[in-house]
Structure 1
Amino acid sequence: MKQPSSEPIWTKDFILVVLVNLLIFTVFYSYITVLPVYVLDGMDGTESQAGFVTSVFLLAAIILRPLSGMIIDRFGQKRIAIISVTLFTFSAFLYVFIDNFYMLLALRFFQGIWFSIITTVTGAIAANIIPKNRRGEGLGYFVMSMNLAVVIGPFIGLNLIGKVSFSNLFLLFSIFALVSIFCCLPLKVKEVKGSTSFAFTLSNMFEKKVLPIAIVGLSISFWYSSVISFISVYAHSLNLMDASGYFFLCFAATMIISRPFTGRLFDRVGPGIVIYPSILLFSIGLLMLAFTSSSVMLLLSGAVIGLGYGTLLPCMQTIAIQSSPANRSGYAIATFFTFFDTGIATGSYILGILVTFSGFSNLYLLASIFALISLYLYPWSRRKSKSGANNPASAIH
């Protein structure tokens, strides 16, 4: 059993980068909640147009992810963090003036570019700040800020829609983004020297040592997309809309409560003892959704999914970083989230088609079964990573 490091995790710089991540993801999830309603009510758009405003944003993020590592290496982590957060904030203010659907799509794509780079560079900064022997625990806290944003963003959006104008809502989101700039400016970042070339080759855009765990991440995010994309519609079909607003609150509660314990267990014993039970819990939570008929069952499934999925994401991100050299942390995070975002985007589309034939209960039943494939993919990824390691520094510890 590994001995825990005495070095602190919650330093000033770590708190600042967590706040940047929390604010950016809060704005992101607020838009996901508000923009479809804005397209339908404020622009008299269609349901397909409402869905497309999220798809084009994710498309930009997926396209730019592979380039993020090179950009960060070329210009430095702090400089890119400040530039990307500033341009993300600038684009946030532009929503106040947009009243044309195609201009909105262009703005979404533009903002998606900077979102992709921000979320890559903040992960790399956090990984470099956290003591090496406490990365599982530290990155768990960092990723928890993303999961908290899943609750905060939609809560703000859903509670203010209809009470204030869309322009004032967009202005509020812009202020959140603006605060993230002030959190970013005092950050002290120890730059890790990497390549400064812009060679557009697969080996330079992706960190190949991360590919095995990235494939596991894609398989998890594909089925998780059934939750973030359809939970509100599913709850509506069950006449449980009042309870659905608390689904992600239960999700976040179990994730927060379990995070210190699972993070320390990851660091001291190893990832397997955390990941295998988490995959099972994720599957059980999806199974519970398939048989949900009451508010209690819906909220309980949210708690179980939060415990499973909320633990898996930081664990997989930690493995991605540990499996790559220190000077490739940006590439590692970019590679992992390229696959992860692709899983959510393709899952939302494919499962959206599937649900029209199967219904929601059968969809979640299917998701619960196929999520268990990760029980076989994870040990495969470990074997693949170890067999592909050329030196001790590249191995997963």
Structure 2
Amino acid sequence: MKQSVTSKQKQRKPLWTKDFLITALANLLLFFSFQMLIPTIPTHLSQLGGDNVQVGLVIGIFTISSLLTRPFAGRALDLLGRKHVLLVGLAICALTIAGYSYIAAVTLILAARFVHGIGWGLSTTSLGTVIADIIPAERRGEGMGYYGLSNTFAMAVGPLTGLWIMQAYSFRYVLLVSTCLAILSLFSSLFITYPKPITSLHPTQRSRFVDRLWERSALLPSSLLLCTAICYGGIVTFITLFGRETGIPNVGLFFFCNASMVLLVRPVTGVLFDRRGPEWVLIPGAIFTISGLFLLSYAHSNLSLALAALCYGVGFGSIQPALQAWTISRSSPERRGAANGTFFSANDLGIGLGAMVLGALANWSGSYALMYRYSTILIVLFLVIYGWSFWTLTLHKKTAH
């Protein structure tokens, strides 16, 4: 009996290794640097004389450039290795953020945002691939859940920190702190032990250019992520306007409660993913997301807004790391870069579409509350797509036996 227990302990590889902690730290520093700029750089652009269209382009141009970069980043990660692509991406981020301090023209800031998006696409795709290499396969859901907490913490605290520094001092100090964080992320990445590029023992012919950039095995989880990202894009873009519409003064409460619930739920759902499979996480997560969006659409007070955020946080905190872990599990080691590029591209595209499509839906319906209610259709679509794939896979297994 003792021998069997000992053998199981030996088989269970450690998760909290030096490389795991350093990669999570580098990710935290990078995302904190990025999140500080989300509410502050549009304000700065407006102070320089930018109109509403140009202020919107600050986010749009960044998203477009990162979206265009990710497929090429994934291909480079698989061909050149993780280290060089990551360091180049982090260097571009640090240099671009520092450069904002010396730019006073609106058009030049927009151009710099395009370059910044390239660095962001390279670095975040690289970090996602590096952590996938580091986490033991049998603990992938748990590891991705813990790793994702660095993103969540940055999303919860970064924007508030940036606004506080800008109000207490100036935007130049925001850029100084953001640049230092990006440099620290670059510095800490130097201490990661990177695996050598993996080449397939049985290479397949990938003659088409698209097949080299995108990973087909990642398309299913990426399409599911696209549905949830569109909803999230509608929340981050219009939650303030929704608060004005409903008379809720402190909509920041939504992000605090959402982030708090994500911090609590991710470690639990990660272990559940490893032990029981994706269906035990994705289906309940989708149900909680639908419930959260419905509650949000009927919210008229801080209490009802907090309740909606807590419910939505359970769904959001469950689905995203589970889908990323599932993406890595479905792809071969030598195609992890392309798989991560495909996955993160879906996230960028979804947030961008959420701002545009749901904004048009709000104009058509005349209400942000109705917009959030109608957006639940996307999560129903999520359940339909996943249910169809699960049924097809189960039928295939029965046929094989």
**TM score, norm. by length of structure 2:** 0.91
Partner of 2:321: 314
Instruction: Point out the more displaced range, 74-83 or 89-98.
Output: 74-83
**Which amino acid in the other structure matches residue 193 of structure 2?**
K
Question: Alpha-carbon deviations, 1:139-192, whole Å to 9, x = none?
Answer: 111122222221122111222332211111111111111110121011111223
Q: For residue 14 of structure 1, what is the aligned residue in structure 2?
A: 20
Deviations 1:89-124 (A, max 9, x none): 111100111111110111000010110011111111
Change (3 A) 1:198 1:277: closer
Match of 1:73 among 49, 56, 78: 78
Separation in 1, partners of 2:393, 2:45: 45
Which residue of 2 is the match for residue 254 of structure 1? 261
Look up the match of 2:54: 49
Relative distance call for 1:384 and 1:221 in structure 2 (3 A) is: farther
Q: Does 1:222 align with 2:230?
A: yes
- Structure 1 residue 198 displacement after superposition: 11
Is the aligned partner of 1:237 residue 2:242? Answer: no
Spell out the pairing of 1:134-283 with structure 2 (5 A cutoff).
134-194=139-199, 201-241=209-249, 243-283=250-290
Answering whether residue 302 of structure 2 is matched by residue 295 of structure 1, we say yes
- Find the partner of 2:91 among 66, 86, 94: 86
1:38 and 2:5 aligned? no
CA shift, 1:285, in A, is 0.5
Structure 2 counterpart SS, 1:161: helix
Equivalent residues of 1:61, 1:115 under 8 A apart? yes
Task: Calculate percent identity across the aligned residue pairs.
Answer: 30
Shift of 1:227: 0.9
Task: Note if contact 2:33-2:177 (Cα within 8 Å) is conserved in structure 1.
Answer: no
Match of 1:337 in 2: 344
Contact persistence 2:214–2:338 (CA under 8 A): yes
Give the match's secondary structure for 2:299: coil
2:3 is aligned to none
**290-299 or 161-170, larger mean C-alpha shift:** 161-170
Paired residues of 1:61 and 1:113 also in contact (CA < 8 A): yes
SS in 2 for 1:16: helix
* Aligned pairs (5 A) from 1:60-139: 60-139=65-144
In the alignment, residue 220 of structure 1 is paired with which amino acid? T
Q: CA deviation at 1:386?
A: 8.5
Q: Cα deviations across residues 1-32 of structure 1 (Å, max 9, x unaligned)?
A: xx896322111111111111112122222222
The alignment status of 1:370 with 2:375, answered yes or no, reads: no
RMSD (Å), alpha carbons: 2.2
Q: Which amino acid aligns with 2:349?
A: T
Q: Using the alignment, how far apart are the partners of 1:349 and 1:281 within structure 2?
A: 24
Go from structure 1 to structure 2 and tell me whether the alpha carbon gap of 1:6 and 1:373 turns closer, same or farther (over 3 Å shift).
Answer: same
Larger radius of gyration: 2
Structure 2 counterpart of 1:361, one-letter code: A
TM-score (normalizing by structure 1)? 0.92
CA distance in 2, matches of 1:361, 1:321: 36
Aligned residues: 385
Paired residues of 1:224 and 1:344 also in contact (CA < 8 A): yes
Q: 5+ residue gaps in structure 1?
A: 390-397
Task: Note if contact 2:165-2:171 (Cα within 8 Å) is conserved in structure 1.
Answer: no
Counterpart residue identity of residue 222, structure 2: A
